[in-house]
């Protein structure tokens, strides 16, 4: 991410940004896609798949962050402990996906 591309970190700011941009995709949709694929990933391969499916310019939000690029989302999910497995072959840990 460049210094001019800062993710929006509040929901109120995300609403303002979303009103000027395409709608954001919830991280749950991405985690469901990962689980359905029954594949393992590296951060780079997951970022590439997300961009392929949702578009390179797509933005994502979660329950606590918004305005994330695909790469930002992957880093965010990793930091939140949503993945299981080694860095070279991880998937989503189904027990770490919130159900709301």
Going by pLDDT thresholds of 50, 70 and 90, the confidence category of residue 1 is very low
Those residues whose C-beta lies under 8 Å from the C-beta of residue 59, and which sit 6 or more positions away, are: 17, 21, 22, 24, 25, 66, 67, 68, 69
Going by pLDDT thresholds of 50, 70 and 90, the confidence category of residue 9 is low
Domain-by-domain residue ranges, the chain?
25-96
Q: For domain 25-96, give the CATH number.
A: 1.10.10
Residue-wise pLDDT for 41-59, tens only, equals 999 999 999 999 999 999 9
pTM: 0.76
Alpha-carbon distance values, 19 to 6, 22, 59, 63, 67 (Å): 17, 8, 13, 18, 12
Going by pLDDT thresholds of 50, 70 and 90, the confidence category of residue 96 is confident
């Amino acid at each position: 991410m460049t210094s001019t591309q800062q993710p929006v970190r509040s929901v109120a700011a995300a609403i303002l940004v979303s009103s000027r941009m395409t709608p954001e995709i919830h991280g749950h949709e991405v985690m469901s896609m990962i689980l359905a694929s029954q594949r393992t990933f590296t951060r780079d391969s997951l970022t590439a798949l997300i961009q392929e499916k949702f578009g390179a310019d797509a933005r994502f939000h979660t329950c606590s962050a918004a305005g994330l690029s695909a790469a930002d989302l992957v880093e965010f999910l990793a930091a939140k402990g949503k993945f299981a497995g080694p860095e070279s072959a991880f998937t989503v840990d189904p027990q770490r996906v919130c159900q709301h």
